[in-house]
Structures are given as C-alpha cells and as structure tokens.
A and B are shown apart, each in its own frame.
Chain A
Amino acid sequence: MTAAPETPRAATMRARARWAVGSHGSARVAGAERRDRRSLRTLLWAVPPLAVLTAIFLVPLAETVWQSVSTTSGAFAGFGTWSQALSSAALGRAVGTTLWIALLTTCGCVLVGTFLAVGLSFVPFSGSRVAVRLLEAVVSFPSFIIPLAFGILYGRAGVLNSALAGLPGSPHVDFVNDLPGVVFAEIAYFTPFVVRPLLAVFGQIPRELLDVSGSLGAGPLMTLRRVILPDARPALAASAGLVFLLAMNEFGIIMFTGAKNVVTLPMLVYTKSIVTFDLPSAAVVACAQLALSLAVYGLYRALVRRLSGGSRAAA
C-alpha cells in the first residue's frame, strides 16, 4: 500500500498540475530546455505525495465545506444552515470557550514551562536529567492520560476527596469536570512543548555570560530578566503559538474530562455529527473551526518566520 485510492477530484487536480507544469516548460526558449526538463522532472517527483495529500486531506476538507451548503442527496441547498448556525448562541459561545481555554492554557504553559526550563537548566539537581527525559517522553504519551489521572486523583469520588472526607467539616474539591480541570490538564500535557525548545536555547547560553552578569553586580533576577529571557524570546513566542493552536484543537482531554458544560468547537463538531447526526450543522461548525485554526496557524507561521528570519538576518 503506497497511496490511498484517488478520488476523481484528486485525479483531475493532478492532471491539471501536469498541464500547468507542461505549458510552463514549453514556453521557454530552446537553449534552456534541458535545464527546464530537469526541473520539470524534479517537480514531477513531488506529484505522488501531493496527490496522496490531496486525496486524504484536501478533498475531505473541501467536502466538509460543500456539505455545509448541500442537502443529504448532494444538491446545493443554499446558506440556510450557515445563517441558522451563525445566529445561534451555541456557536458563538463555543468559539469564546475555545479561545478562552486556549489562552489560559497558553499562559499557564508559558509560566510553568519557563520556570521549569530555567530551573532545569540553571539550578540543576540530582534528578533533573530524569525529569528532562520524562518531559520528553510525555509528549509521545496519549493526551488523555492526564485527565484520566485527574479523575482518579481529584474526581468527585477521587483520592483527594476521599482523603478530605475524613477531615472536620468534610471539605470538597470539584474542579475536574469543569473548565479549571480542562485547563489544568491541558497545562500539564502541553508544558513539555514549551520546556523542550527553551531547554535547547538555554543550553546554548554560554556560562560566562551569566558569570559576567553576576560579577557586574546583577542579582539572579536581573540576570534572568536581562540576559536569559531576551535570548529565549523567539523560542518562547513560537512555542506559545504552538500551544495555543494545539489547545484550540484539543479534543481528547476535554472528552476524557467529561466536562459537560465545557463546549469547545471540537466538542461541538463531535456532538453535532456523532451524537445528533446533524451533519450540515457539524460541517458549519467545522468550517468555523477550520477558519479559526488556519488563521492562528498562519499567524504562528508568520511569527516563526519573522523571529527566525530576523535573527538570521542580523547574525
């Protein structure tokens, strides 16, 4: 199995791509023909992977957009579903919740991640290497392990509550199945995405820089603020952008938390399509989510390009 079967649309696009490349080649003068043929051949090499991408990713996305404006039989149905969905409060609320959770998660990850990275880099302790390895491993664990653990530990019938029940006044914690639970779980899971790039940056800072800063009279806080953090700013901005995007798109953690009143866009897509089988509405929500995600992703790419390009140009 080398490629997924092509849809007719993908085949058309591939043919169109071939045609575009071909006409481009023939427009050149004869002297450049050989070089052109070679560049044509290298471009042709890109066609098979692009065809696969089109078939399994771009076409389904296009179909989703189409579904939001079509009937179940495949005919154009107008923008009724759109106006209906856009006027409903649910979509607006979901957008707000999604962005709010992503923002809280990003802030939490940046704070915790910066603290961990600075500590692990500059105040090493005997277990710090194990901690770094663990942080790296967690990224490849399934995301739902954190909400699962939160449920066991802090859930209504969890360890913490049964321990607290024995205390006078029987205090009670109940945050897991609500927004704080989601945010804490996402912070725990996404923090390594901030720590890892920061560790790489901090590993590059020569020790002499910190020593000299100290000998010039700077205390640890001034050294942190004036020497360490300025160096980490591009990496920090990039990883914050990545965490925001991942948190916006996160589904497994919210699903596992079982927070019924935390309805983000992915959750809304899931309920509309799988639970209530309202596929056109689900498609509208998916389009909204898609637009939002792509916008954030575009900003993230631009940010990364500017930060890395800026430092490279200045270097």
Chain B
Amino acid sequence: MPLAAVRCPDAGEFDDGRPPAVELRGVSVRYPGASAGSRPALADLSLRVDPGETVALLGPSGSGKSTALKAVAGFEQPSEGRVLLAGRDVTRRPPAERGIGVVVQQYALFPHLRVADNVAYGLRARRLPRAQVRARVGEMLEMVGMEEHARKLPRELSGGQQQRIAIARALAIRPDVLLLDEPLSALDARMRQDMVEELARLRRELPDVAMLYVTHDQSEALALADRIGVMRDGRLVDLGTAHELYHRPRHAFTASFLGGANLLDGVLEAPGAARGRTTHDDASSPELTVRLDAGGSVSARIGDPASDAGASGGRVTVAVRPHALRMLPAGRDANEAAGSASGLRGTVVSVQWRGTGHRLRVALGGTDRGSAGRAVAVDLEPFAAVPAVGDAVVLGVVRGEAVIVPRDETIGGLRVPAAPVRPAAGATA
C-alpha cells in the first residue's frame, strides 16, 4: 500500500509564529481486543490544523477519519503518537481538559435537558455565574437562529434544528478547535444543502476557530474546507487544497473518491519527457501519452510530478472525470476532434437521466454488454444527442483533463482494466 507522502509538507513555523491549533504526530489507534496483526483503525497519522483553518478528512466508512477525530477529542487513546493542541501535549489528558467543541453525527443532545440547558451544559461544567451562562446561551441560540426554541426538549425539534443546537452547545464554551464528525449525514438532501451554507456562514463569523471536519461527502468537503485530507484504510493517502486534489490527484483513490473519476489502466509511452520539469502550473505540465489496456490511447498530465509515475514504460492509471469525456461523432478522426484521445471505442450499456443531463455507461474495448460494472461513466453535455443502449460510440477526452496517477490495483469501482479486477491487496510495488 503506498504511503501517504504529504504533498504540501507542513512547515514547522508559521507566519505569525503561532503553533498549530491541532497537531497529530504519528498517531495510531488500535482498538482494544483487535488482534495484533490486524490493521489499526488509524495508522501513523500526522496532520496540522492552523488557527482559523478548516481541514476536512474525507473518506469512505471505515477509513479511520472518525477515529482520527476521536483521538483529537480524547475519546480514543492513541496507541502510538502524540496529540498537541496549541502546542500543548494533551495525549494523556481526558476530553474534559481539552476544551474542544465536538459535534457528532447523531447530535448527542441530552434527551432529558431542554435546549437552553443543553447549550448551557459546558458552561455549567465550568461553574460560570448564572447571569453569564444565561447571556452566553442567548447569544449562541441567536447565532444559530434558535432563540424561540430555548424551552423545548430535543425530541421536539427537527433534525436540522437539533444540529444547530449541537453546534451552539459546542461553540458555547468558546473552543479554539471545533470538531465535526459527519455533522450532516443524518439530514435529508435539501436540509444538508442549507446546513452547508449555514456552516460556511459560521466559518466566516468565527475566523479564529480551527475546524476539523470529518465527512464522506465530497461536496461538503469541497464547499467548506481550506484543505482536504483523503483517508483510506486507516491512512491519510492525500492532503492538499481542494483545487490541488481535484485537478492534480496524486493517487488513484483520491481521483476516484473526489469527483468520481474513471480509472483507466495503461502503459506510459514516450517515457522520460517529464523528467526535470516539476512545475506546479497546470498549463505547463507536459502531456504524456498512455496506451490504454482497454484499447486506444490518451494524452495526459502527471498528477504529482514528484511521484515515479513517469518512469519508462511504467504501468500507470489515467483518471478522467465523467464530465471530461465526450462522445465523438462517428466517422470523424478522434484525434482531431478531441485532441487528446484516440481509439477509445466502446458500447453504451446504460443511459440514465439525472435531471441536469444524461449519464452513460460505456463498456470500452469491444461489445462486452455484460460488463456494466467495468464501464466508464460519461456525463453528456446538456444538449448533446443521446445515444441508445447498444450503440457503438467513440469517446474523446477534454484537453488537460486526463491525469496520470500511479497504478493501484486495490481500488475497485470505476476502474476499467483489461482483465477482470483481481481482489489483490497490497499489490502495488
């Protein structure tokens, strides 16, 4: 399994000399009772969150992102590594002494306490004077727009309202760090959209609070986070700004999880061209040609110039997002039409209307109708002609949108290998 080499290495010193709000140094968490040889829930995580910064940990369930958050909050004890808050080592301190605001998935409002008492809980734990508690509770309820619900019990509120109270309760203690563990996953789609906007507003109102936001939903991460860490199998596989991760994924998993890219396996042609040119500017990245296992070839950029994906004759994977694939009019020269792909032939296996446009699934490299699972996803442009299932099509790739990442056989899902996917673990050299 490839180790996470962090793309933007965290600098030790920051402009204003303040220590990071949250720092994890090589933190591993192994749940008690787990067998010694088994994979830890969290392996060797190093991460910094600066004051005022929002970092999202993004990953599928079981990827260790929630465990990382629990290690910061003190709900789980790291088996190795250290947790620092504002430069202070809190690894062995209980949650009560960390002063962190935490919002969890199911809100965890105290069911027998009224809304105001829930918000006041942390203030009372600090034995603040009564008048001060009342003032602060009023202030927090006003901030989340819930003043008129102060006397209600949590079960009398809707999911979104409960979420606001949970946030108000966490912020009432004026934490320097706010941890959010899948805060929107229990809401329906529309409510989630509203809450994302709400959180973005809070974000602006609290410029000094560092946030660690755990989610499996890429749109929340893209909307809210300054930086995103992609997690998988207990490890951080990628870390960078949303723009970096989206446009230059350095890992096949990042590409497929963030933006649902199609993964096309192939072999690099014209090796060596990339050597010595390690610029971060998209426009000047060299285009290399990859001969795909499924037939045809694509020219693509290297996602992370520091990686060894550009080695001579290397077996690589090309990540292409569904909206970057185009259907070419039959009979025209593919290379001329799309500029960056040729000979990507396939058969339409399904057509799905998704409101904003059509999504096709196209089985590449022949007429294999039974291989819908191995087909690439193609999002048609709004007014493009829609083919029928069974039609033979030729695909092109929008220039600059194909990215070369190291091949990783352990990722299932959207990839299109020449042979059926092997359930290989740790097959990467």
Alpha-carbon distance A211/B73, docked complex (angstroms): 9
Q: Does B106 contact A (CB under 8 A)?
A: yes
B153 touches A217 (CB 8 A): no
A215 touches B96 (CB 8 A): yes
- Which residues of the partner chain A approach B113 to less than 8 Å between Cβ atoms? 226
| Chain B contacts with A in 91-141, Cβ cutoff 8 A | 94-96, 98-102, 104-106, 108, 110-113, 121-122, 125-126
A211 touches B96 (CB 8 A): no
Alpha-carbon distance A216/B104, docked complex (angstroms): 13
A230 touches B122 (CB 8 A): no
- Which residues of the partner chain A approach B95 to less than 8 Å between Cβ atoms? 211, 214-215
B121 touches A211 (CB 8 A): no
B96 touches A315 (CB 8 A): no
Chain A, residue nearest B126 (CB): A217
Given A214-B94, A215-B96, A217-B173: A209 touches B121 (CB 8 Å cut-off): no
Q: Which 7 A-B pairs have the closest CB atoms?
A: A216-B122, A214-B95, A217-B125, A208-B108, A218-B125, A215-B95, A215-B102
Q: List 20 A-B contacts (CB under 8 A).
A: A206-B108, A209-B110, A211-B104, A213-B110, A213-B121, A214-B74, A215-B102, A215-B170, A216-B122, A216-B169, A216-B170, A216-B173, A217-B96, A217-B99, A217-B173, A222-B125, A226-B110, A231-B111, A231-B112, A314-B153
Q: Does B280 contact A (CB under 8 A)?
A: no
Alpha-carbon distance A208/B110, docked complex (angstroms): 10
- Which residues of the partner chain B approach A215 to less than 8 Å between Cβ atoms? 73-75, 95-96, 98, 100-102, 170
Closest chain-A Cβ to B172's Cβ sits at a distance in Å of 8
Q: Does A53 contact B (CB under 8 A)?
A: no
Alpha-carbon distance A227/B169, docked complex (angstroms): 15
- Which residues of the partner chain B approach A74 to less than 8 Å between Cβ atoms? none
- Most chain B Cβ neighbours within 10 Å, of A208, A212, A315: A212
Chain A, residue nearest B98 (CB): A215
Closest chain-A Cβ to B57's Cβ sits at a distance in Å of 18
Closest chain-A Cβ to B407's Cβ sits at a distance in Å of 40
- Which residues of the partner chain A approach B111 to less than 8 Å between Cβ atoms? 231
Q: Does A142 contact B (CB under 8 A)?
A: no
Q: Give a binary string over B164-180; 1 marks a CB under 8 Å from any A CB, 0 the rest.
A: 00000110010000000
A212 touches B74 (CB 8 A): no
- Which residues of the partner chain A approach B70 to less than 8 Å between Cβ atoms? 211
Q: Does A219 contact B (CB under 8 A)?
A: yes
A212 touches B96 (CB 8 A): no
A226 touches B96 (CB 8 A): no
Q: Does B155 contact A (CB under 8 A)?
A: yes
- Which residues of the partner chain B approach A218 to less than 8 Å between Cβ atoms? 96, 121-122, 125
A208 touches B106 (CB 8 A): yes
Interface set of A (CB-CB < 8 Å, partner B): 206, 208-209, 211-219, 222, 226-227, 230-231, 314-315
Closest chain-B Cβ to A143's Cβ sits at a distance in Å of 35
- Which residues of the partner chain B approach A315 to less than 8 Å between Cβ atoms? 155
Closest chain-A Cβ to B332's Cβ sits at a distance in Å of 58
Given A217-B173, A231-B112: A212 touches B125 (CB 8 Å cut-off): no
Alpha-carbon distance A206/B99, docked complex (angstroms): 21
Alpha-carbon distance A286/B104, docked complex (angstroms): 58
- Which residues of the partner chain B approach A214 to less than 8 Å between Cβ atoms? 74-75, 94-96
B125 touches A230 (CB 8 A): no
A sample of 8 more A-B contacts (CB under 8 A), given A211-B102, A211-B108, A217-B99, is A211-B70, A214-B96, A215-B95, A215-B96, A215-B101, A217-B96, A230-B112, A315-B155
| Chain B contacts with A in 150-192, Cβ cutoff 8 A | 153, 155, 169-170, 173
Closest chain-A Cβ to B59's Cβ sits at a distance in Å of 20
Alpha-carbon distance A206/B110, docked complex (angstroms): 10
Chain A, residue nearest B175 (CB): A215
Closest chain-B Cβ to A213's Cβ sits at a distance in Å of 7
Alpha-carbon distance A214/B104, docked complex (angstroms): 13
Alpha-carbon distance A186/B125, docked complex (angstroms): 38
Closest chain-B Cβ to A164's Cβ sits at a distance in Å of 42
A212 touches B104 (CB 8 A): yes
B173 touches A212 (CB 8 A): no
Alpha-carbon distance A219/B95, docked complex (angstroms): 9
Chain B, residue nearest A212 (CB): B108
Alpha-carbon distance A256/B94, docked complex (angstroms): 49
- Which residues of the partner chain B approach A211 to less than 8 Å between Cβ atoms? 70, 73, 75, 95, 102, 104, 108
B106 touches A206 (CB 8 A): yes
Q: Give a binary string over B63-101; 1 marks a CB under 8 Å from any A CB, 0 the rest.
A: 000000010011100000000000000000011101111
Alpha-carbon distance A212/B126, docked complex (angstroms): 15
Chain A, residue nearest B112 (CB): A230
Closest chain-A Cβ to B120's Cβ sits at a distance in Å of 10
Chain B, residue nearest A229 (CB): B112
Closest chain-B Cβ to A120's Cβ sits at a distance in Å of 17
| Chain B contacts with A in 274-308, Cβ cutoff 8 A | none
- Which residues of the partner chain A approach B98 to less than 8 Å between Cβ atoms? 215
Chain A, residue nearest B103 (CB): A212
Given A214-B74, A215-B73, A217-B96: A208 touches B104 (CB 8 Å cut-off): yes
Alpha-carbon distance A214/B121, docked complex (angstroms): 10
B121 touches A216 (CB 8 A): yes
Chain B, residue nearest A233 (CB): B112
- Which residues of the partner chain A approach B74 to less than 8 Å between Cβ atoms? 214-215
- Which residues of the partner chain A approach B108 to less than 8 Å between Cβ atoms? 206, 208-209, 211-212
A212 touches B102 (CB 8 A): yes
A216 touches B125 (CB 8 A): yes
Q: Give a binary string over B39-81; 1 marks a CB under 8 Å from any A CB, 0 the rest.
A: 0000000000000000000000000000000100111000000
- Which residues of the partner chain A approach B73 to less than 8 Å between Cβ atoms? 211, 215
Closest chain-B Cβ to A93's Cβ sits at a distance in Å of 43
Alpha-carbon distance A315/B153, docked complex (angstroms): 10
- Which residues of the partner chain A approach B173 to less than 8 Å between Cβ atoms? 216-217
Alpha-carbon distance A213/B96, docked complex (angstroms): 8
Chain A, residue nearest B99 (CB): A217
Alpha-carbon distance A297/B111, docked complex (angstroms): 30
- Which residues of the partner chain B approach A227 to less than 8 Å between Cβ atoms? 110
B106 touches A217 (CB 8 A): no
Alpha-carbon distance A208/B113, docked complex (angstroms): 16
Alpha-carbon distance A222/B125, docked complex (angstroms): 8
- Most chain A Cβ neighbours within 10 Å, of B102, B106, B126: B102
Alpha-carbon distance A206/B100, docked complex (angstroms): 20
Alpha-carbon distance A212/B153, docked complex (angstroms): 18
Alpha-carbon distance A185/B17, docked complex (angstroms): 67
Alpha-carbon distance A314/B114, docked complex (angstroms): 13
Closest chain-A Cβ to B155's Cβ sits at a distance in Å of 7
- Which residues of the partner chain B approach A208 to less than 8 Å between Cβ atoms? 104-106, 108
Alpha-carbon distance A314/B111, docked complex (angstroms): 11
Alpha-carbon distance A226/B121, docked complex (angstroms): 9
